[in-house]
């Protein structure tokens, strides 16, 4: 698990990712431990793997299969006018049964959100757990059990997919930019901060979007294009499945193969689970190709109408409710589990939370230097950032937030600064030798710098998805900052930096989305929302569900972003049932979690299987994706 992000400021610009832990925002520095412990270089390298129009798999990263799929840069280019291509990095957890087994259920494609999140990274971290959740459990009937491949990919511009987007000459320059940005403070903190950020972010967006256009990728990163890429992945998967069956059975002819493995050109059905921004992608996909929808789960649901307007106004309505929830769980958890515990009850805890915040706003706390670190300053912006990263994963992270708050109350900013810069010892290590030798874009510098895997990829997608370039004066934008701060005192102003990019993002998509986000899909969609979600309030799930015939909203009674922020057998079983049989939960289903924040569930220990439950593998998978 990655430590909290040092650079969380720009996290806000990669807003809609399933788990804030998964992303590397600008200036992300891996901990020295990660560098030292990184496994010996495997034989697989994306760079040395040729792209192919078919799925040609190579063993990679241990038990995974990787392929580089070649697709047209421009799906709508007329024959012979534009032969440029995109090489999509794709990764698979192979199903536990061969394709010829009648229990083989096909592929489920995941998208982690972002936009700009790396699907390769998601599968490396969670793919096996996800496979356990969707595949048949121990009690499954042999006739109906289904076992799935799990596939994801780095979308256009992202991480291992080529071409990617690069807006800084190297890692150090990117880091310097990040530091500068952080130093100004959140845009709502002062007029000076706002003015500096407004100018800096727009200058970056201006030059970066021009680079994106020059390199050709800028106009071909829209969500419609990625939706079409997913259809292609299923088509090529069908072709691969047939080849694989021929290989396994030594068949000379396709005629000899069982029907369920035969490739059906143009009719390969989609199975998809999208998180956060991945719900925009999924809703778009379902609207564009409704007849191909076999299973689609949209989890942590974005208001795609607002998204395509470029509004960014329907994300933060419930964010600050997490403070009240924190106080409640802190009180229930008791002094052993919550450092900010107060015997007088949750109202007092919330009051202290507010006082600590207020005080820090006006008086930052100096943190003396140590043998390891230089002198530093714990600021209100730092606290917002820790809250921000915590809000995605309360079950895991309220504990550390309580510690930070209790220390701040005593005038000690050490924990807060540590949360920001826990990884900065890496700087002392310097760059790995090979990285310095091969240059900043080489594999050796991975994971130091792998293209703009963060906020600018995000901007490239979401700004070009907005129906037009956002045209706002500085004064109008300041009003927008004030409006969002009314929605969320904690996150409102930081959130506005997303849209700020779009006021100077010049790349426009060749293939814009023109649909209505509604469809009668071949099979109904399952939406999932949490009671309190910091970036995708559950009302969005209900709103989006209205457009998709027969769809159902599953309500998970937890806090945080996407269902994986909680651990609930009820939710996991509903998801499994949906993938196994297609059956949707009853309308109005509310799933309770097994564990609550600050009940002693910790980041370190493996939480025990709840009493009365027997499916240990499923529990471990739920805990695994919650990390
Ligand atoms: C794609 O893969 C197939 C099967 O391995 C191979 O025959 C073909 O030459 C490859 N095409 C390219 C362009 O590499
Ligand atoms: C693409 O087209 C250009 C000329 O239009 C040609 O020079 C080039 O070889 C083509 N590339 C491929 C991969 O076909
Ligand atoms: C990019 O992919 C590599 C695997 O090829 C992974 O280790 C790395 O974490 C990914 N980077 C990001 C930013 O997700
Ligand atoms: C289920 O089917 C598999 C393969 O078709 C077989 O090996 C296994 O013994 C069966 N299990 C049961 C419980 O019938
Ligand atoms: C602040 O807290 C840290 C532990 O995080 C502790 O080591 C340090 O001594 C404290 N500083 C003061 C001035 O109390
Ligand atoms: C989707 O919405 C549009 C505009 O409101 C409407 O014209 C169309 O009939 C709807 N389509 C479906 C499949 O519901």
- Chain segment 180-196, per-residue pLDDT in tens: 887 888 999 889 999 99
**Rounded Cα–Cα distance for residues 154 and 118 (Å):** 5
The 8-class DSSP code of residue 164 comes to B
CA of 378 to the centre of ligand 5 (A): 13
CA of 287 to the centre of ligand 6 (A): 10
Q: Give the ligand with the smallest distance to the CA of 418.
A: 5
- State the pLDDT at residue 424: 36
Domain count across the chain: 1
- State the pLDDT at residue 39: 46
* The pair of three-digit structure tokens given for residue 551, joined into one six-digit string: 């769809």
Nearest of 175, 173, 172, 156 to residue 164 by alpha carbon: 156
**Rounded Cα–Cα distance for residues 189 and 17 (Å):** 25
Q: Give the ligand with the smallest distance to the CA of 517.
A: 6
Domain harbouring 469, CATH code: 3.40.50.1820
**Rounded Cα–Cα distance for residues 537 and 462 (Å):** 19
- Sort strands 270-275 and 293-299 into parallel, antiparallel or unpaired: parallel
- State the pLDDT at residue 436: 63
Cis peptide before 447 (omega within 30 of 0): yes
- State the pLDDT at residue 189: 87
| pLDDT one-digit tens code per residue, 477-490 | 999 999 999 999 99
- For the chain, what percent of residues have pLDDT higher than 70? 88
CA of 74 to the centre of ligand 2 (A): 14
Rounded to an integer, the average pLDDT of 384-397 is 92
Is the predicted pLDDT of residue 141 greater than 60, yes or no?
yes
| pLDDT one-digit tens code per residue, 279-307 | 999 999 999 999 999 999 999 999 999 99
Which residue has the least CA distance to atom 3 on ligand 3? 121
Phi, then psi, of 150 in degrees rounded to 5? -110, 125
User: Which residue would you say has higher pLDDT here, 66 or 604?
Assistant: 66
Is the predicted pLDDT of residue 37 greater than 60, yes or no?
no
User: Which residues, 6 or more positions from 616, have their beta carbon under 8 angstroms from its beta carbon?
Assistant: 609
| pLDDT one-digit tens code per residue, 349-376 | 999 999 999 999 999 999 999 887 889 9
Is the predicted pLDDT of residue 23 greater than 50, yes or no?
no
| pLDDT one-digit tens code per residue, 101-117 | 999 999 999 999 989 89
CA-to-CA separations, 240 to 34, 264, 268, 608, in angstroms, rounded: 35, 11, 12, 40
Is the predicted pLDDT of residue 66 greater than 80, yes or no?
yes
54 ligand 1 Cβ < 6 A: yes
Is the predicted pLDDT of residue 509 greater than 90, yes or no?
yes
602 ligand 6 Cβ < 6 A: no
Which residue segment(s) compose the domain that 315 sits in? 1-627
pTM confidence score = 0.92
Nearest of 262, 259, 281, 267 to residue 109 by alpha carbon: 281
**Rounded Cα–Cα distance for residues 520 and 531 (Å):** 27
**Rounded Cα–Cα distance for residues 397 and 420 (Å):** 14
Is the predicted pLDDT of residue 456 greater than 90, yes or no?
no
Rounded to an integer, the average pLDDT of 212-234 is 95
CA of 274 to the centre of ligand 4 (A): 32
Mutation to probe ligand 5, out of 369, 412, 418 (largest number of atoms < 8 A from CB): 412
Beta-bridge mates of residue 378: 365
**Rounded Cα–Cα distance for residues 349 and 259 (Å):** 62
Which residue has the least CA distance to atom 6 on ligand 5? 414
CA of 414 to the centre of ligand 5 (A): 6
Q: Where are the beta strands (DSSP E) in 573-626?
A: 590-591
Beta-bridge mates of residue 293: 270
CA of 28 to the centre of ligand 3 (A): 12
Which residue has the least CA distance to atom 3 on ligand 5? 414
Which residue has the least CA distance to atom 5 on ligand 6? 516
Q: In degrees, to the nearest 5, what angle opens at C-alpha 570 toward C-alphas 569 and 575?
A: 95
540 ligand 5 Cβ < 6 A: no
CA of 73 to the centre of ligand 2 (A): 13
Range in 331-335, 423-427, 595-599 the model is least confident about? 423-427
Rounded to an integer, the average pLDDT of 191-210 is 95
Phi, then psi, of 571 in degrees rounded to 5? -65, -50
- State the pLDDT at residue 435: 60
User: Which residues, 6 or more positions from 194, have their beta carbon under 8 angstroms from its beta carbon?
Assistant: 187, 188, 478, 481
Is the predicted pLDDT of residue 91 greater than 60, yes or no?
yes
Nearest-10 crossing angle of helices 414-421, 380-392:
60
**Rounded Cα–Cα distance for residues 575 and 627 (Å):** 19
Rounded to an integer, the average pLDDT of 228-237 is 98
Name the residue with tokens 């806090």. Answer: 559
CA-to-CA separations, 378 to 6, 56, 582, in angstroms, rounded: 13, 51, 51
404 ligand 5 Cβ < 6 A: no
**Rounded Cα–Cα distance for residues 75 and 288 (Å):** 14
User: What is the chain's length?
Assistant: 627
Number of H helices, E strands in the chain: 20, 14
Average pLDDT of the residues of the chain = 89
- Sort strands 526-532 and 552-559 into parallel, antiparallel or unpaired: parallel
Mutation to probe ligand 1, out of 48, 49, 52 (largest number of atoms < 8 A from CB): 52
Is the predicted pLDDT of residue 266 greater than 90, yes or no?
yes
Q: Give the ligand with the smallest distance to the CA of 121.
A: 3
Phi, then psi, of 609 in degrees rounded to 5? -60, 125
Q: In degrees, to the nearest 5, what angle opens at C-alpha 495 toward C-alphas 490 and 500?
A: 145
């Amino acid at each position: 698990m990655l430590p909290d992000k040092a650079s969380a400021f720009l996290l806000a610009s990669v807003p809609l990712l399933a788990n804030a832990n998964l992303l590397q925002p600008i200036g992300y520095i891996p901990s020295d431990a990660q560098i030292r412990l990184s496994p010996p270089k495997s034989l697989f390298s994306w760079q040395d793997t040729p792209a192919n129009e078919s799925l040609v798999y190579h063993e990679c990263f241990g038990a995974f299969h990787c392929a580089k799929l070649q697709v047209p840069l421009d799906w709508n280019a007329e024959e012979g006018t534009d032969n440029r291509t995109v090489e999509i990095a794709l990764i698979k957890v192979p199903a536990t049964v061969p394709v010829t087994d009648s229990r083989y259920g096909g592929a489920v494609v995941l998208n982690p959100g972002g936009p700009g999140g790396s699907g390769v990274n998601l599968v490396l971290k969670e793919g096996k757990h996800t496979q356990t959740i969707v595949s048949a459990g121990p009690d499954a009937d042999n006739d109906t059990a289904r076992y799935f491949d799990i596939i994801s990919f780095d979308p256009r511009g992202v991480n291992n997919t080529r071409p990617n987007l690069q807006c800084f000459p190297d890692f150090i320059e990117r880091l310097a930019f990040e530091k500068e940005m952080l130093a100004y403070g959140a845009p709502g903190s002062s007029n000076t901060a706002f003015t500096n950020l407004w100018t800096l972010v727009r200058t970056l967006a201006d030059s970066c979007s021009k680079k994106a256009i020059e390199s050709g990728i800028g106009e071909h990163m829209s969500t419609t294009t990625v939706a079409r890429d997913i259809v292609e992945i299923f088509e090529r998967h069908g072709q691969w499945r047939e080849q694989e069956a021929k290989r396994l059975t030594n068949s000379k002819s396709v005629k000899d193969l069982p029907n369920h493995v035969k490739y059906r050109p143009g009719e390969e059905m989609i199975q998809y689970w999208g998180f956060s921004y991945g719900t925009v992608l999924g809703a778009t996909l379902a609207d564009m190709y409704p007849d191909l929808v076999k299973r689609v789960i949209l989890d942590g649901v974005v208001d795609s109408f607002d998204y395509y307007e470029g509004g960014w106004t329907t994300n933060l309505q419930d964010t600050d409710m997490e403070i009240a929830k924190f106080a409640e769980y802190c009180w229930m958890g008791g002094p052993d589990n919550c450092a900010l515990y107060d015997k007088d009850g949750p109202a007092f805890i919330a009051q202290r939370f507010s006082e600590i915040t207020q005080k820090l706003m006006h008086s930052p706390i100096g943190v003396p230097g140590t043998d390891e670190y230089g002198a530093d300053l714990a600021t209100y912006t730092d606290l917002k950032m820790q809250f921000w990263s915590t809000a995605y994963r309360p079950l895991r992270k309220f504990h550390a937030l309580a510690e930070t708050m209790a220390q701040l109350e005593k005038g000690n900013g050490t924990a807060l600064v540590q949360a920001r810069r826990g990884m900065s010892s890496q700087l002392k290590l310097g760059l790995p030798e090979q990285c310095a030798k091969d240059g900043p874009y080489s594999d050796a510098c991975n994971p130091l710098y792998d293209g703009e895997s963060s906020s600018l990829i995000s901007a490239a997608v979401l700004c070009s998805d907005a129906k037009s370039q956002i045209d706002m004066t500085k004064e109008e934008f300041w009003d927008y900052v004030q409006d969002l701060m009314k929605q969320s005192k904690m996150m409102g102003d930081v959130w506005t930096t997303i849209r700020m990019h779009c006021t100077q993002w010049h790349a426009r998509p060749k293939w814009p989305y023109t649909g209505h986000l509604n469809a009668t899909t071949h099979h109904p969609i399952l939406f999932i929302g949490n009671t309190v979600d910091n970036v995708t309030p559950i009302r969005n799930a209900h709103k989006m569900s209205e457009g998709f015939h027969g769809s159902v909203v599953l309500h998970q009674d937890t806090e945080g972003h996407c269902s994986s922020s909680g651990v609930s057998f009820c939710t996991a079983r509903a998801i499994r049932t949906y993938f196994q049989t297609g059956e949707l939960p009853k309308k109005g289903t509310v799933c309770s979690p097994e564990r609550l924040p600050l009940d002693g569930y910790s980041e370190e220990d493996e939480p025990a299987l709840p009493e009365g439950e027997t499916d240990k593998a499923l529990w471990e998978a739920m805990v695994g994706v919650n990390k």
